[in-house]
Structure 1
């Protein structure tokens, strides 16, 4: 969902994917004016992506985690594919086997390993805490880039240290028994897999059209989530009438707003607005997620969450600011 400067992938591994983001246009600064439309689109990305953690938490109140995530992404992917075929013609969906395989791999890493595990974890972890744990993704991406020979710079490494320090503080609710430590560790693993998917997306042959890539990623990732759900036995005793109206509403919101509206806004921003401005979603989303969790679900903002979250956001800010200077 990002280019190099925006490697802080969406705090919601619940939305479009890094590979699905179009590269910024090559126009100069004059081509990237900050208009009212830019601010409106940025507000959508800030609020909608920040709210997806809340949506997930409400969905899993009565719906099985992997089956609901799988259904969500398959529906969103098919809707996106249909929109593409309608606007551009069916030919826009044609890709070679290597590109299709790459999109499937990225989709599995991001949406089964990344998003699927977050959905599972939110059955026991507050939505705000999950968002803050995922916010450390940019630090993992910097470490992956380093492992492959890149040198992001001293500022980025300082941001990594801050992010990891914040992550350590954020695990305290699990260690103290306030939340299940297994859920906390599940989110950490999810962030690692999301980082791996984000990193690999720019290094393997992907479909040329970023929207096409996203459609295939969502369908592949959705099918993967469905298979995991079936393997976990989530279908045993499944009763659709037992799903609350509240969960159905949140599910529809995640499909239409989290996966389609916000993705379109983000893709448009990458082509229209300064990338340094677009990248700010990486540290705004977790703040929005914590605020909504506290206001709507009554989630407690304990001192480890407040302190650890502030340190993580500071680290992400430092990484983003260092990247945009480079």
Structure 2
């Protein structure tokens, strides 16, 4: 009798163990909140997703915390923006985490940019004289909502490979996300046309807005930074002011993590409006999804243009 009971309890234990393994969520760690938001769209309740960088932080420069290592040690899948955006902090962090499954090239590593049409890929040699130039192209590709489709598709493929039993579930969620994103994009493009953004010349602080500008028809004519990551000299500032006055450029766009004092002064000098646009999900408390991000960006631009026309 004891033998029968022992076998019964052992069988029950095995059943629970198998059920626990099969129902365990895939642990996903992303560098940014944008990637996390899209990963949640695809992963649903089959994935637990954590972002390392807050939406209001500059993803180029991040001080690694001990908590990052703990998250990475437990991760089944690590997703980065790529294109050297996080080159200053991710490689050393991954090596320190001692999780071979998420190292570059491993099954649990994903560069989310691989399927995205990348802009501004240098044709010649890149040197430090060009500032913090990205040799693999502009990494701010998530700022075009169309590219959200490519990101989601790559995430779906990775999640399905890690959990084949849930592949149909992930694919279904991918299709739903893609459908909703395309519908939203149509609305955003219509909004941009109503605002008269097509052909509107703007000055931005950093080369963060190339994808956004191309999608919605803005023309970026210059930058507050003379080169990426290089502070502007008085000569550059004066040249920029002359250019904006001559060209009657009335809109400036900056990222929220840059100091707005200088851009604000330039805008005042040329009678332009300064729009501080969120660059990521989580940059503001009400930006909880990838969809919220573009709703808010266009809302701020609309407010700036209305104020400028008063």
Q: Which structure: greater strand fraction?
A: 2
Q: How does the TM-score come out when normalised to structure 1?
A: 0.26
Q: Which structure: greater helix fraction?
A: 1
Which protein is bigger by CA-based radius of gyration?
2
